[in-house]
Amino acid sequence: MDRLRTARDILQPHIPLELRDPRDNRRTLQTTRAPLPATENLDFNDDDNSEDIVHAVGTITSQGDVRLPSGPARGYPIGVQALGAHLGIDLRAYIRRFLYDQKFPNADRMGMDVDLADCPTIDPNLHVKIFYSAVALYHAPSEVSGIGGMKREIIRATPSWQRGPVRHDCAYVEQDADGEGFEGLGVAQVQFFLSFKYGSGKDAVEYQCVFVWWFERYDDSPCDQTGLWRVHPDMRGGRRVCSIIHIDTILRSAHLIPVFGDPSVSGRVPVGFHHSMSLGSYKLFYVNRYIDYNAHEFIF
């Protein structure tokens, strides 16, 4: 496929304009965001027992867009202070650090690294909504059945998937607009989606965000045996590095494969080991660029 794409890039300038695929004029920068048509229904059934949706979409061309469902999850406290206590995290501090990044996008340090006193303050009763999933619309260049090569899938972060164990999907996060392929992306595991309004009156801005656990790139190049990039859990002081990021930085879902050790040294996988425990049990993972027929087009 890589050779075919290279050949196509070489031959394309020699093809008459009237014979070219109209999709060749599309913009494909990772940071490109396009508004969706008003007729495109992005709402979906957020039932834990619903099946995954991955299909072609008839919409305008953009590299990606992620939207939350219309209704939040139920049964959670409303105020940020009470919600953080319910979730077992200092949610108020994470939101303040997130707002720092929004207020100072060109700062030398990210909000997660600055002193909390330098971050914007928020009301302890700030209304925060929790969501279990989001719809990702992304550009799949080889997709010919959708207008402009657009695909749609659901990224899930639910405490019970199909009345079973928890499910926290991984996603590609845009980090460097100038980087090519995986060099411009990061990988994070979605813990939950959230939204809130910050500001007063007509100046209030609604933020749609994601609370994630980060993975860190293992090396500066893919594995020389498999050709796949590798990542490992990002740790700091023995704890997972986590933060709140804007939903617009998510490109699409990611699939990680554990790097299994030598059975004679580390032992075999225990009988009864459930796959839902994999992301928290292994120390190194392959970034699977072959999970579908279009992931390899931008994970290289």
Determine, yes or no, domain membership for 85. Answer: no
Pinpoint the alpha helices (H) of 112-178.
Answer: none
Which of 166-183 are b and which e, b meaning 16 or more Cβ less than 10 Å from the residue's Cβ? Answer: ebbbbbbbbeeeeeeebe
Determine, yes or no, domain membership for 88. Answer: no
pLDDT at 103: 94
d(CA 253, CA 172): 6
Which range has the worst mean pLDDT, 62-71, 108-117, 153-162, 216-225?
Answer: 62-71
Beta bridge partners of 152: 55, 137
| Mean confidence (pLDDT) of the chain | 82
DSSP state of 138: E
Q: What is the DSSP string of 217-257?
A: ESSSS--TTT---EEEE-EETTEE-EEEEEGGGEEEEE-EE
Confidence of residue 41 (pLDDT cuts 50, 70, 90): very low
pLDDT at 23: 41
Tell me the average pLDDT across 54-68. Answer: 59
pLDDT at 29: 32
Determine, yes or no, domain membership for 102. Answer: no
Q: Are 190 and 254 in contact (CB under 8 A)?
A: no
Question: What angle, 0 to 180 degrees and rounded to 10, lies between the N-to-C axes of helices 80-87 and 91-103?
Answer: 120
Which of 57-84 are b and which e, b meaning 16 or more Cβ less than 10 Å from the residue's Cβ? Answer: bebbbbbbbbbbbeebbeeeeebbbebb
Strands (E), the chain: 54-57, 64-67, 128-131, 133-139, 150-158, 167-168, 170-174, 185-198, 205-217, 230-233, 235-236, 239-240, 242-246, 250-254, 256-258, 285-287
Nearest to 287 by CA among 190, 205, 183: 183
Question: Is the per-residue pLDDT at 49 higher than 70?
Answer: no
* 249-269 pLDDT per residue, tens: 999 999 999 998 766 666 788
Q: Are 163 and 149 in contact (CB under 8 A)?
A: no
Determine, yes or no, domain membership for 188. Answer: yes
Question: Is the per-residue pLDDT at 202 higher than 50?
Answer: yes
d(CA 65, CA 114): 29
* Assigned token pair, 110: 């990210």
* 73-92 pLDDT per residue, tens: 999 998 999 999 999 999 99
pLDDT at 246: 96
* Assigned token pair, 120: 């914007």
* 123-180 pLDDT per residue, tens: 999 999 999 999 998 777 766 655 567 788 999 999 999 999 999 999 999 998 888 8
* Assigned token pair, 79: 């105020």
Determine, yes or no, domain membership for 261. Answer: yes
Determine, yes or no, domain membership for 252. Answer: yes
pLDDT at 19: 46
Which tops the pLDDT comparison, 278 or 7? 278
pLDDT at 26: 35
Determine, yes or no, domain membership for 159. Answer: yes
Determine, yes or no, domain membership for 97. Answer: no
pLDDT at 52: 58
Beta bridge partners of 211: 192, 244
Q: Are 92 and 77 in contact (CB under 8 A)?
A: no
- Per the structure, the count of domains in the chain is 1
Tell me the average pLDDT across 281-290. Answer: 94
Question: Is the per-residue pLDDT at 38 higher than 80?
Answer: no
Q: Are 123 and 148 in contact (CB under 8 A)?
A: no
Which tops the pLDDT comparison, 1 or 104? 104
Residue numbers of the domain that contains 54: 2-32+42-78+127-297
* Assigned token pair, 285: 């993972």
Nearest to 207 by CA among 199, 215, 198, 220: 198
Beta bridge partners of 67: 135
